[in-house]
Chain A
Amino acid sequence: MSSLSTLLLIIFFLIFLKRNYDKKFWVILLYLVASFLTDIFIEFKFDRFYCCSFFTWVEYGIFSYFFYLTFNTPSFKRLVAWLFPFFTVVLIYCVINDYKSTNNFDYLSSSFESILLIIISILFFYEQITNPEVAFLYSSKTFWIICAILIYMSATLFLFISSSLPSESMANNPFWLINTVATIIKNLLFGIAFSKPIIWTIDTSSHSLNKLKLRHQHNGSISGDFQKK
């Protein structure tokens, strides 16, 4: 079900290709392709633990790069860049020490990934509060993508943490449905982001008031030092 929604989303992205020509959105497309391929590999009875661990690393790497491209604050960019090698080390440690649940899931690295991405998403919102770029946050494509990441990571965090519990019932836990539902919601929000038209804002280094003024004046006609959001 979630694989199907991912596949549909890839097609949806290609339909709205003109609206998603920015590098940031291609990064998300890459994530969707990776997600779809991982599902296929697991279906084909590849080792679930290694597949999941590799996908967790790819997922974190792709989302980190997306955040790196999104942040305007240099310190946040640096933080995201430094967290990636740190996460890689933690993930390698988890793989070497075989931290897996009864259903062969990399619960530790996935939980750690969720916590890091939730923190980074909150940093994005903090940046938007202190230095707003667009008049209405929800009109930006980036906002919907980050909402999707945040909701997915929040919804699955406790599921991932709990999968470490040595309960027999956890192997065929009906709560894994949460993961499927969260993936579908995430894909829906990605879909909203892909279908949104591009909003043009001027560079954040300019004064925020001038920025707003320019945005109102150039509603459609584009000039100056603008960025896609």
Chain B
Amino acid sequence: MLSKGESVILFGTIGMLSLTLGLIVFIIFHQRKVIRYQLTMQKMEEEQQNILLNASIRLQEEERQRLAADLHDDAGPLLATARLYLNENLVMLDKATQVQHISAAKSIIDDTIHLVRNISHSLMPPTLKNFGLESAVNDLFHKISGAGTINASCRFHDYHERLKMEHEQIIFRVIQELINNILKHSNPTFIHVTQNTSDESFFIRLHHDGTGLVQADYDKLTKSSGGLGLKNISSRLKVMFGKILFEKDISETYYKVTIELPKEEELKPLQK
């Protein structure tokens, strides 16, 4: 029969050892679970990066194909026609025909210059380069409103200084992509863009009354094989450590897209 002291020692030691071993086993299993979770997250992040990279490569290829098609189908025939007018037989022709041919060739060359300028502007809008984001967005909206079916307007509240060129270009491309999507899929009657800032962030908000996306749709589309434009938006924003939020207004009358970007001074430490 065990005495009181001996019982305390025996049961106390067994209890403490059981607790200790239980704790060690729990820690090992829990830590393995945490590591497995972290590795899964890492894998998912890598997959997402791959999807975005592929989307960006595909988009670049599509853009190249479009440019090649524009140059081949439009500029090529125009220049070939101009060459026909200016062939070696031109000197053999009478004066009046010569003038007529030169005039026709000049007109064709003017058209070609116009076409090349359009292609160049689609690659890099001169308004964006020379006057900044606000003017470029205004210009884009002016063209949309000019068609008469959609009322497009924009208002920049805190845009007193221009951002870095590459940042303005990224923001403009994102807005352009969003507008393209809205025009293609949403059938809106108005589009309105506002810009403002907080202490740390630069905001662009886009409202429209067409059919739109909510965040769950956006997340789904950026992870699927489709939604090339949205993937393009996502990868562009990633460069600037930006966020995008798609939501429906509480009044359920319009959709809202909010782009939040860190201010340039906030962006520097992030880029390091």
Residue ranges of A at the interface with B (Cβ–Cβ < 8 Å) = 118, 122, 125, 128-129, 132, 135-138, 147, 150-151, 154-159, 161-162, 165, 167, 169-170, 173, 175, 178, 208-209, 212-213
Contacts and interface: CB of A to CB of B under 8 A. Distances in A.
Contacts of B39: 212
B35 A161 contact: no
Contacts of A132: 31, 34-35, 38
A155 B13 contact: yes
B19 interface: yes
Interface of A is mostly: helix
Given A212-B42, A213-B42, A158 B12 contact: yes
Interface stretch (B3-11, B65-73, B90-98, B206-214): B3-11
A122 B23 contact: yes
7 contacts: A125-B23, A151-B17, A155-B13, A167-B5, A209-B41, A212-B38, A213-B42
Q: Return the 7 tightest CB-CB contacts between A and B, nearest first.
A: A158-B12, A154-B16, A154-B20, A165-B5, A162-B9, A125-B27, A175-B9
Interface residues on chain B, size class: 20 to 34
B16 A167 contact: no
B84 interface: no
A118 B20 CA distance: 9
Given A129-B30, A158-B13, A158-B16, A175 B35 contact: no
B142 interface: no
Given A154-B19, A158-B13, A158-B16, A137 B31 contact: yes
A125 B38 CA distance: 18
Given A158-B11, A161-B12, 9 more contacts: A129-B31, A137-B32, A150-B20, A165-B4, A165-B5, A169-B3, A173-B9, A209-B42, A212-B35
Interface string B32-64: 101100110110010000000000000000000
A162 B31 contact: no
B35 A135 contact: yes
Contacts of B31: 128-129, 132, 136-137
A73 B250 CA distance: 45
A164 to B, nearest CB: 9
B103 to A, nearest CB: 67
Given A136-B32, A137-B27, A138-B28, A159 B9 contact: yes
A209 B45 CA distance: 11
B42 A175 contact: no
